[in-house]
Structure 1
Amino acid sequence: MTSRTIERDEKKLSIFTNDPALEDSSLSIRAEQQPEWDPAEELAARAKVDTTVLPLLFLGLLVFQLDRMNIASALTGGFATDIRVTQSTINLGNQLMFMVIVIFEIPCNMALQRIGPRKWISAQVFVFGFIAIMQVFIKNRGGFLATRLLLGFAEAGYIPGACYTLSTWYTKRELAKRVAIFFFGMFGGNAISPLLALGILQLDGHRGLRGWQWLFLLEGLFTSSVSIILLFFLPGSPSHPKPLLGEGIIKFSEIESRILQRRLKLNGEEDSDWQGLKKIPLGVVWSTVTHYRRWPHFVSTFVVFSTWSPLTMYTPSIIMSLGFARTDANALAAVGAFIALAVVFLFAFFSDRTNQRGASVIAAQTCYLVTLIVAHQLQPHVGRWSRWGLWTAVNSFAVGYHPIHNSWVQLNCADPREKSISIAMWVMSAISGLMVGTQYFQADDKPLYLTGLRMMIVMVSVGIASTAFQIAVYAVHNKRANDENQQGSVLKAKLYVP
């Protein structure tokens, strides 16, 4: 490195180290202030975040989804018959798993804030993978229910913790697309799970193990290996970007670290303290939980996301009931899940481009409602390929609203601790919905599940109404806040993003 290069870098670094606003976090910086660095340097620093933090959190969510929902493919491999359980027991097991996630979501998220994402997330993924492997030894109803409970406990806190971690790296304007990409881990896991099952279930009988046992074993081992990757490569925060172990492949220079911190401040946000840790007092938890203006978000998420639960569990079985072989059914089940990835990204792009968050959520939910109504009306009158097309369309639009709803909630949280708890509440609403949705498809409703589809239509309709009510709540509040601000109030009233 030449002396001229060193001198230039030291000059850039002095811009940040001599900045009292960076040293004193209580001093706010005007959003309209112009950054003092080359925009190309900011893009380079953000690109490093895009190629480290985002894909690693995505990978963690993907393996969670694989291990949580590979039971759908295991059912096509005779899992329920081998352990002598009914569809009602399968539904109950998933309800228990989701129930435990809801109970421990906020406590686990608070623990993550104290311990830090590098330690907590790595350990969490390892424990989850170990429990997933233990499913190989399930012999009866009791073993199945116990492992589902433990999987729920091991998963609690991951999604809100990861979303909060993303919010400490990205500005609000950048967040929606990144949250959508993060959720590709969940939806991508749902897409590739049946494809992986195509090959793994072929091992049925090899070394004395059933195909579903190989499925749990191999995917659980993959999850455990991902935890090692996180230990060595997941950065902590913009102020402390080194991984827990080692230096990582992509390294952040001191100047890039300062840029990442500074740009958050310029957008009215801030990184946590130097290790990315933030204690959340119980008073903040209580004030966030009782913040009534945000509750329509949670109602809408609860009712609409509940309809995804039966789709992830029974789509392969539904397609198999149309007369397709097990291999073909798992392959065909993946089509709608892959299309869903494009749908999610398109709505996230529209949301960021227009900044109309509520309208974007309603548009995505309305598209989903239309596919449900069409499937309910046409399914009894068409052949098997058309019925497959209807179920594929339903799966394609089932989650288009989900990531942008998450980013909408985050955009309306000012304090990082409030944001963390709000994300946890949003995830609790979604998981509670999944828990309720496990009962929508009953054995006596096979093979068309028309009663289940009617319930899903009702729930999505309620969700759309709740989203519209949320927009109205924000609009009314903003009108009052603007009136107060124009009257010269000393404390500027908070404005929400509708």
Structure 2
Amino acid sequence: MGFATYQLDRTNIASALTGGFASAISVNQNTINLGNQLMFLGVIVLEIPSNVALQRIGPRRWISAQVFIFGVIAALQIFVRNRTGFLLTRSILGLAEAGYIPAAMYTLSTWYTKEALTKRIAVFFFGMFGGSAVSPLLGAGLLKLDGKGGLSGWQWIFLLEGIWSIVASILLISLLPERKLEAPEKTISSDEESVSKSEIWNKATSETISLRIVWKTLTNVYKWPHFLATACVFSTWSPLTTYTPSIIMALGFSRIKANALAAVGSLITLPVIVFFAWLSDTTCKRGLTVMLSIVCYLITLIVLRCLQPHVGKWSRVGLWTAVNGLAVGYHPIHNAWIQVNCKSPAERSIIVMSATAGLMAGTQIFRSDETAEFYPRGLLIMIILAICGLALVALQSCIYYVRNRSNSDSVEEV
């Protein structure tokens, strides 16, 4: 619930744009891109400090407070009137959202063992992509309130979805436990001393995020392909979440119908994720599954760029829907692959920053100078990034394979 709410407040600008938000505050598309970039920069800047605060305050109070704060800021966007106000509120929103994803994943790691963590992470990411799917549907409905109470449709979107975040924060502080405590599970070690498996796990998950851990993670060259692949491929999702409703509206559909059609691709994402997760668990080949999902996405990007100028509007809608549906099918599996090969929850938290960095860079892929042509250059950039991500995932698989052969004491999942 918290992740879906987080994603709603982050992506509802896509629906607001179809409701005339940009023209109402007198900004162009490049300013919208800059605002989103500043939002993601704010997330990165406070990512680690946020997780340090989490460990001191506790997940129940800290995560609930985060959701409350970014809900208030999201609602206050109804008062934005100019470029300065827009850039300022997006920056503050990013600072308020900082650390939510790694904080939630860190908290999950304190409740579940490594073997049980992967499935929980997959379920957790359903909130993110579910929120992205619901956002344009809510936008389509809320835009019908245009003019009610003296507010524009885009103001109703920001106001009501911000209020929902505040309600969600109250539910979180009421229902979210601090930590799962399990009965000790005794095993006998070689020196015949009793050791609790849960005690060992809880000790590992209680490790603080120190500068030493940060430096060790960033200098671990064996996992750089993970970081870079995440940034490359995930960056291509950023322009899709912001501009797909506007693209469909530009094809001749009403703003309400454009938002409803944009939701279809995001809804397709959910069964796509389930399929690739099932395939990953069945084959136990995470790297190959990630590569297959990226290949499927890459094919749809190439087909869209090649065929888009030569087909009608409904065919274009179908192509954009397919791209949106396959855009992030790889991400939960790739993330789970990273998680099970991490040595500590602290390392897991830091890895999330690479995805945010990718989203920040991706905000500039679709530029205003090619809006009329439906972003042929932007699509080419996305194709190149997907190819780079595919190559990096293949390299990471090779690294794990070689390391497993040379070090039988520490087997990493390929």
Same fold judged by TM-score > 0.5? yes
Deviations 1:141-184 (A, max 9, x none): 01100110011111111111111222222333333332122111
Q: Whole-Å Cα distance in 1 between the matches of residues 366 and 154 of structure 2?
A: 22
Q: Whole-Å Cα distance in 2 between the matches of residues 288 and 426 of structure 1?
A: 8
Q: Whole-Å Cα distance in 1 between the matches of residues 332 and 94 of structure 2?
A: 21
Q: Whole-Å Cα distance in 1 between the matches of residues 185 and 259 of structure 2?
A: 43
Q: Whole-Å Cα distance in 2 between the matches of residues 337 and 72 of structure 1?
A: 13
Aligned pair in 2 of structure 1 residues 346, 261: CA closer, same or farther (>3 Å)? Answer: farther
Partner of 1:439: 364
Q: Whole-Å Cα distance in 2 between the matches of residues 425 and 403 of structure 1?
A: 16
Partner of 1:166: 108
Partner of 1:479: 405
Runs of 4+ in structure 1 deviating by more than 4 angstroms, as ranges, are: 259-262, 264-269
Deviations 1:292-315 (A, max 9, x none): 111110000000000000000000
The 3-state SS of whatever aligns with 1:271 is helix
Q: Whole-Å Cα distance in 1 between the matches of residues 258 and 296 of structure 2?
A: 25
Partner of 1:497: 413
The share of aligned pairs that are identical, in percent, is 56
Unaligned runs of 5+ in 1: 1-58, 240-256, 483-492
Q: 2:394 aligns with which of 461, 468, 471?
A: 468
Give the aligned residue type for 1:441. F
> Residues 142 and 156 of structure 2 are in contact (CA less than 8 Å); yes or no, is this contact kept in structure 1?
yes
Which region of structure 1 is more displaced relative to structure 2, 77-86 or 437-446?
437-446
The 3-state SS of whatever aligns with 2:320 is helix
Q: 2:237 aligns with which of 283, 286, 308?
A: 308
Q: Whole-Å Cα distance in 2 between the matches of residues 360 and 172 of structure 1?
A: 20
Give the aligned residue type for 2:218. V
Give yes or no for the alignment of 1:427 onto 2:352.
yes
Q: 1:185 aligns with which of 123, 127, 148?
A: 127
Aligned pairs (5 A) from 1:107-118:
107-118=49-60
The 3-state SS of whatever aligns with 2:271 is helix
Partner of 1:451: 377
Aligned pairs (5 A) from 1:193-342:
193-239=135-181, 257-258=182-183, 266=197, 270-272=201-203, 278-342=207-271
Q: CA deviation at 1:373?
A: 0.8
Aligned pairs (5 A) from 1:104-143:
104-143=46-85
Q: Whole-Å Cα distance in 2 between the matches of residues 477 and 78 of structure 1?
A: 54
Give the aligned residue type for 1:196. L
Deviations 1:418-454 (A, max 9, x none): 332x333322111111111111111221242111111
Q: CA deviation at 1:272?
A: 4.9
Q: Whole-Å Cα distance in 2 between the matches of residues 129 and 211 of structure 1?
A: 18
Q: Whole-Å Cα distance in 1 between the matches of residues 150 and 382 of structure 2?
A: 41
Give the aligned residue type for 1:186. M
Q: CA deviation at 1:399?
A: 0.3
Aligned pair in 2 of structure 1 residues 278, 374: CA closer, same or farther (>3 Å)? Answer: same
Give yes or no for the alignment of 1:406 onto 2:335.
yes
Higher relative contact order (CA 8 A, sep 6+): 2
Give the aligned residue type for 2:366. F
Q: Whole-Å Cα distance in 1 between the matches of residues 345 and 337 of structure 2?
A: 11
The 3-state SS of whatever aligns with 2:388 is helix
The 3-state SS of whatever aligns with 1:216 is helix
Q: Whole-Å Cα distance in 2 between the matches of residues 292 and 209 of structure 1?
A: 52
Q: Whole-Å Cα distance in 1 between the matches of residues 78 and 186 of structure 2?
A: 46
Unaligned runs of 5+ in 2: 188-194
Q: CA deviation at 1:92?
A: 0.3
Q: How many residues align?
A: 406
Q: Whole-Å Cα distance in 1 between the matches of residues 185 and 177 of structure 2?
A: 13
TM-score with structure 1 setting the length: 0.78
Aligned pair in 2 of structure 1 residues 113, 354: CA closer, same or farther (>3 Å)? Answer: farther
Q: Whole-Å Cα distance in 2 between the matches of residues 235 and 470 of structure 1?
A: 36
Q: CA RMSD in A?
A: 2.0
